[in-house]
Structure 1
C-alpha cells in the first residue's frame, strides 16, 4: 500500500496558514466534527459509499481525507480510489497530529 501521496500535519498546517483552499473530507462522526474541526466536508466513513455522487470534486482534484488519528481516513482514501479518484491524500496521524503541533 503506497503512503507516498499522504500528507502530514506540518504540511497541511502550513497550507491552512497560507489560507490555501483545500479540498478537505472529514470522515469522522458528525458529533466529532461539530466538537472540533478544521473545516471541510463532513461525511462519516460509514456513509461515504452512499454519498459518492454528492462529492463536489473532480476525479483528479487533490482531496485530503481527515479523521482523528488517520485510520478511518485511510479506509476512506481506499474507497475513493476504488471509485476513480486519483489524487487522494490521507492526513497521517489525523487531527491529533495537528493538535500536537499547536502545543509545541
Structure 2
C-alpha cells in the first residue's frame, strides 16, 4: 500500500515539473533573470568607473615619480580616468537601453 502512495506522489511531482517546464511559471523566471541582468550591468558600470579611476591614478603617480613633480600628473590623470570611466558607463547604459529585455520586450513597437 505505501508503495502505490509514493508512486502517485512521484507521478504528481513529475506532472508539476513538466507543467513548469512547459511554461507555467515563465513570468517568475523572467523577473529573476531580469533582476540578475540589471545587477550584473550595475556591477559592470561600477567596475568600469573604478578601473578608470585606478588606471588614471596609477599612470599619474608613475609620471609624478618619474618626473619628480608630485601631485600634478596624479591629479590630472585621476580626473582623466574618472572622465573615461563615466564615458564607458554611459556607453554601457546606452547599450542596455538599446537591447530589448524581458519576454515581450519588442511586442509594443510592432503594432
TM over 0.5: no
Give the TM-score taking structure 1 as reference length: 0.23
Q: TM-score scaled by structure 2?
A: 0.22
The structure with more strand, counted as a fraction of residues: 1
